[in-house]
Structure formats: structure tokens, C-alpha cells
Amino acid sequence: MTTVLERIRRRYETTDKKCPDCGYVDEEGNWESRTDGRRLVYRHVCPSCDATREHTFNLK
Ligand SMILES: [Zn+2]
């Protein structure tokens, strides 16, 4: 379980840095994660234009 979550986190923090709206590249990769026990939600707010991106994963 931890391994899967770590892999997802790493994937977004390392590959999904560029804002699709303004093109700002967030080198910090400030993805926030939260979970309600059934779903894992990764959320990123662009520091430049405040565009929000979310990715939701169902936890088994
Ligand atoms: Zn942006």
C-alpha cells in the first residue's frame, strides 16, 4: 500500500509540474494529498495563476 502511494506521489511530483493554463513550471511540485480512506486525491494549485488540478484514485 505504502509503495503504491509513494509511487503515485513521486509520479506527480516529478512529471506533472507544468500548469496547463499558464505554462508555469512548479519546480517544487507542491502536490497535496488527502484521503477519506476510500479515495486518494492529489491536488495542485498553480502558484502563478491559481488554476487547480486534481487527480483522484480509488483505494482498494
Ligand atoms: Zn498556472
pLDDT in tens, 1-56: 568 778 877 887 777 889 999 999 988 877 888 999 999 999 999 999 999 999 89
Q: What angle do CA 14, 18, 21 make, to 5 degrees?
A: 155
- Give the residue numbers spanning the domain of 32: 2-58
Q: How far is the CA of 42 from the centre of ligand 1 (A)?
A: 16
| 38 secondary structure, DSSP code | S
User: At CB < 8 A and 24+ separation, what contacts does 5-12 make?
Assistant: 5/33, 5/40, 8/40, 8/42, 8/57, 9/33, 9/42, 12/42, 12/44, 12/55
Instruction: Mark the residues whose beta carbon lies below 5 A from ion ligand 1.
Output: 19, 21-22, 24, 46, 48-49, 51
Separation of alpha carbons 29 and 51, rounded Å: 14
Tally of structural domains, the chain: 1
